Amino acid sequence: MRLRAIAHSRTGDKGDTSNISVIAYCAEDYPRIERHVTAERVRDHFSGIVRGEVVRYALPGIGALNFVMHGALGGGVTRSLALDAHGKCLGSAVLDLEIPDDAP
């Protein structure tokens, strides 16, 4: 299943850093998201885009994970020659991540 079936995202960007939150629609899906959506998987998913470190922060109280991706915006939104490679575009792309359709 794709992550978008059980979660949505919110994004932001500052300079060359993208910030993506993955938020479970239902609290019972949060453990599955936490188990399968790791910093390593997110970094691999964006391997052609992210040049720096990906740090994951868990926010279980609100059923969310926050990923801070350094070196993700081609030098920064206003400096990049890439079209639409800023946070909102990456937030949609992370929801394409395949995760196992296992029980939470």
In 3-state terms, what secondary structure has residue 60?
Answer: helix
- As a whole number, the mean pLDDT across the chain is 86
What one-letter code names the amino acid at 38? T
**Predicted model pTM:** 0.85
What's the rounded Cα separation, in Å, for the pair 2 and 23? 14
Residues with Cβ within 8 Å of 76's Cβ and at least 6 positions away in sequence, in order, are: 15, 16
Residue found under tokens 């991706």 = 69
Q: Given the DSSP bridges, would you call strands 7-14 and 64-70 parallel, antiparallel or unpaired?
A: unpaired
Fold of 3-94: Alpha-Beta Plaits (3.30.70)
- pLDDT tens by residue, 66-82: 999 988 776 655 554 55
In this prediction, residue 54 carries a pLDDT of 95
**Range among 14-18, 34-38, 84-88 with highest mean pLDDT value:** 34-38
pLDDT greater than 90 at residue 93: no
Predicted pLDDT of residue 88? 67
